[in-house]
Amino acid sequence: MPKAAGDAKLLIQSLTKAYAATPTNLKIIDLYVVFAVATALVQVIYMGIVGSFPFNSFLSGVLSCIGTAVLGVCLRIQVNKDNKEFKDLPPERAFADFVLCNLVLHLVIMNFLG
């Protein structure tokens, strides 16, 4: 057990160290993603307590958050300098795509909200 605990400690330490090296703009996106996921969780918990009656509202709320998070992750993947696959994709283009996708997503959600 102590070995496992030591391992976990080491792991967390190296993780935080590695993460501290990430550029600030990526950290901002990470925060954005974490916030979106947290909002989705809050909504799910609320649904568990109160019930899912206007089901389309619940669905659009949760899916809006998850969608935002997913798109944020996509953006993060694309603007990440370490990612070799997207070397020839300028970050401006990635952001434009991100905005377009978000527009479509939230247009749909506004339609679906009821």
Q: Given the rule CB under 8 A, which residues bind other proteins? A: 7-8, 10-11, 14-15, 18-19, 55-56, 59-60, 63, 66-67, 70-71, 73-75, 77-78, 82-83, 85-86, 89, 94, 96-98, 100-101, 104-105, 108-109, 111-112
For residue 64, the minimal CB distance to other proteins (Å) is 8
Total Cβ atoms within 10 A of residue 62:
19
14: phi then psi, degrees, rounded to nearest 5: -70, -35
Distance CA 82, CA 50 (A): 44
User: Residue 19 or 27: which CB sits closer to other proteins?
Assistant: 19
Rg (alpha carbons) of the chain, rounded to whole number:
18
